[in-house]
Amino acid sequence: MIRNLMAALGRRKEPVAAAMRPAPTAGQKAILIIEDHPDSLRAMCLALADETYRLETADTAEAAIQKLSSFHPDLILLDSQVPAADGTRLARHLLADAELAPVPIVALTERSTHGDPEPVGRFDGHIGKPIDARSFPGRVRAFLESPRQEPSKHAVEPPLPTTPAADRRKQAAELLYAIEADLPYSQFAPGTGTGLQRLAEVVGGLEHGALAGYLQQAERLSKATTARSRSRFRSVIRFCRELVERDPDVAPGLVELRAGYLENRRAEMSSLEHALKNGDFAALRKAGHNLKGTGAAYGFAELTDIGRALEAAAKDDNAAAIEALLDQIDAYIGMVGPSPEHRGDYAAGI
């Protein structure tokens, strides 16, 4: 059981949400509540008893993964401290899952002595526990109905197909710079999705063959409005720009070296999570320093930025900030990195 869960979570080869899921009744919203405290879980179910939602519950990581393999929720309510089988938080794995990026995930957080919930990182919101049964249905309804979309400032003009590779590279750079410069508005601007789709179609002749796949990923994210889709969209647009600007790899083994670097970063996530749990800020500070020094050198500039922030947060013993940064690292690796079985495709494409 633990081995199977690790395959589904910490060693994520495929998204935890399966590609084929039966849909709920037409027009019926589906909610998954992941909560390991029986009383809290019962209270939330009772509070929603008069609503028309399809309600599914899970009290362990294993149960949550099983539920997500059989249906696609419109909303996930998640106790952010539910552990995965490897001792890390289930939340980190769900927040990093690309298949779940369009689904709002709301943190169920314990209220402090001042009545405020703990920081929620990259969640789409929070609901404090114990819940208020009278206001709970309304809060759930608001998360289901809110579009969470910024008004667009400008339209992004789709690039026109051209033949010379140099022109395609220039077009790619111009479009990606335009999108990146006007975030977050440009994600939802008229023409962004179409521009990315058309650009993916015309960059096939560039040396970076994998670029089209990342552009397609960005195009899909341009339609999603969750906090994670915004963060992931920003990251993938930046990475696409870096790929366009990067000179083709000519040194033997350099691409495999990059893939191995990402796999090593993926492998160390559990130890970083355990360091956070044990308050080992010295280990986290060292990890941040190393990431700061190596990320950009391997072609992943955002990892350098995250490493710098991790080092600073560890110096301040800021556990909440570190937790959010670990989420970002895991999501970034999942976005740009290949699974071992697809490493050959990755090596051929970047």
15, 117: one domain = yes
132, 105: one domain = yes
> Domain ends where: 245, 272, 296?
245
Out of 55-64, 115-124, 137-146, 261-270, least confident range? 115-124
Out of 58-62, 72-76, 117-121, 330-334, least confident range? 117-121
Task: Judge whether 340 lies within some domain.
Answer: yes
Task: Judge whether 219 lies within some domain.
Answer: yes
141, 6: one domain = yes
Strands 75-79 and 54-58: unpaired
Q: CATH number for the domain including 266?
A: 1.20.120
Write down the pLDDT at residue 249: 60
28, 112: one domain = yes
263, 327: one domain = yes
User: How far is Cα 62 from Cα 117, in angstroms, rounded to an integer?
Assistant: 26
Write down the pLDDT at residue 163: 57
126, 172: one domain = no
User: How far is Cα 32 from Cα 196, in angstroms, rounded to an integer?
Assistant: 32
Q: Angle formed by the axes of helices 281-294 and 301-315, to 10°? A: 160
Which amino acid type is present at position 180? E
| pLDDT tens digits along 309-326 | 999 999 999 998 998 899
For the CA atoms of 216, 222, 223, 224, the dihedral, rounded to the nearest 10 degrees, stands at: 110
238, 258: one domain = no
38, 121: one domain = yes
Write down the pLDDT at residue 270: 86
> Domain ends where: 219, 245, 271?
245
Task: Judge whether 281 lies within some domain.
Answer: yes
- Domains held by the chain: number: 3
Write down the pLDDT at residue 206: 57
Task: Judge whether 158 lies within some domain.
Answer: no
Task: Judge whether 154 lies within some domain.
Answer: no
Task: Judge whether 101 lies within some domain.
Answer: yes
277, 326: one domain = yes
Task: Judge whether 192 lies within some domain.
Answer: yes
Residue 242's DSSP bridge partners are none
Judge whether residue 113 has pLDDT over 50: no
The shares of helix, strand and coil residues in the chain, as percent rounded to the nearest 5, are 55, 10, 35
Q: CATH number for the domain including 47?
A: 3.40.50.2300
| pLDDT tens digits along 224-255 | 889 889 889 999 999 999 988 877 665 667 77
Q: How confident is the model at residue 171 (pLDDT cuts 50, 70, 90)?
A: confident
> Domain ends where: 195, 224, 245?
245
197, 328: one domain = no
Give the rounded percent of residues in the chain with a pLDDT score beyond 90: 42
For the purposes of burial, counting CB atoms within 10 Å of the CB of 216, is it exposed (0-12), middle (13-18) or buried (19 or more)? Answer: middle
Distance in Å from the first CA to the final CA of the chain: 36
| pLDDT tens digits along 194-208 | 889 888 887 765 555
pTM score: 0.79
235 Cβ neighbours under 8 A, 6+ residues apart:
302, 331, 332, 335, 336
229, 267: one domain = no
Task: Judge whether 327 lies within some domain.
Answer: yes
pLDDT, average across residues 81-104 = 84
Higher pLDDT, 84 or 149: 84
Judge whether residue 20 has pLDDT over 80: no
Residue 270's DSSP bridge partners are none
Write down the pLDDT at residue 238: 94
177, 208: one domain = yes
Domain span at 234: 165-245
User: How far is Cα 195 from Cα 172, in angstroms, rounded to an integer?
Assistant: 10
